[in-house]
Structure 1
Amino acid sequence: MQLLLDKDMDAWVALCDDQVIFEFPFAPDGRPKRLEGRPALAAYLKDYPDHIDLQAFPALKIHHTDAPDTIVVEMRATGRIVATGAPYEMPYIAVVTVVHGRITHYRDYWNPLAVPASMDEAKSALGPTS
């Protein structure tokens, strides 16, 4: 989490296995529902700090599962939308599997209804795009 707050996407991606799978079951149309491999994840995250300035994870709870390599994480991220300065707040639930010290599977359950509103604000602040 500190790497995300530090906006060090490369170091965060380095925590993942080469064949990592990221899934976003609630992703809206037009956004990826699945990423496969470290290069795909790196491409997905590279511009994240240009859009969302994460500043804190004020709520974090880790739940252990009966699978020793898998946890369920409840967290809330706060920050701001870079383009507008508007506040950003998003609750997340993630199911994370780690094998041999590397993230191999990350299933991210986030609220897609909260993101379009903030991204629409960012797009309108940037002006028309072609």
Structure 2
Amino acid sequence: MSAPTSPAELFRHSLRLLLDKNIPAWTELWADDGVAEFPFAPDGWPRRLEGKEAVAAYMRPYPDHIDLHDFPDLRIHHTTDPRTVVAEMRGVGRLVRTGAPFDMTYIAVVTVRDGRIISYRDYWNPLAVLENGADFTGSGR
């Protein structure tokens, strides 16, 4: 597959990689100085990850915690900044530890520079994960 050429294409490609559980390839979509932010993260969970390596370390155990099956209801909105898109979506699957269903609604604000993610603000509902007993603090617990 050729490299995605727009922020929307890059974002769609990133979702396919997450569904494939290909975290190394997903991480390669990031700029070395990329920043991930989680404005609604509860206490004890990271709110900001600076740099590709920090994002990679955070995401590495993701498939061990959440088995994603689909991202239904994906809507990508273009902004006045051609480098930035806003995505609305649901992530559905199951929690690996308990087998409980996973169904989370997300809003992500993603900015791309030179074909790489430089900013990813992930507005998700931490209460939904905490209620289901998931632990995804990046600690590997």
Q: 1:80 is matched with which residue?
A: 94
Between the aligned partners of 1:53 and 1:44, the Cα distance in structure 2 is: 16
In the alignment, structure 2 segments of 5+ residues that lack a partner are: 1-14, 136-140
Between the aligned partners of 1:13 and 1:118, the Cα distance in structure 2 is: 27
CA deviation profile, 1:92-121 (whole Å, cap 9, x unmatched): 00000011100000000000110112235x
Between the aligned partners of 1:117 and 1:9, the Cα distance in structure 2 is: 26
Report the 3-state secondary structure (helix = DSSP H, G, I; strand = E; otherwise coil) of the residue aligned with 1:92.
Answer: strand
Between the aligned partners of 2:45 and 2:19, the Cα distance in structure 1 is: 23
Asked if 1:38 is matched to 2:43, the reply is: no
Q: 2:109 is matched with which residue?
A: 95
CA deviation profile, 1:61-93 (whole Å, cap 9, x unmatched): 001100110010001000001111110000000
Between the aligned partners of 1:116 and 1:109, the Cα distance in structure 2 is: 15
Count of residues in Structure 1 that have an aligned counterpart in Structure 2: 122
In the alignment, structure 1 segments of 5+ residues that lack a partner are: 123-128
Q: Which has the larger share of strand?
A: 1
Give the TM-score normalised by structure 1. Answer: 0.91
Structure 1 outlier segments of 4+, above 3 Å: none
Q: 1:61 aligns with which of 71, 75, 91?
A: 75
Aligned Cα root-mean-square deviation (Å) = 1.3
Give the TM-score normalised by structure 2. Answer: 0.84
Highest CA radius of gyration, 1 or 2? 1
What percent identity do the matched residue pairs reach? Answer: 61
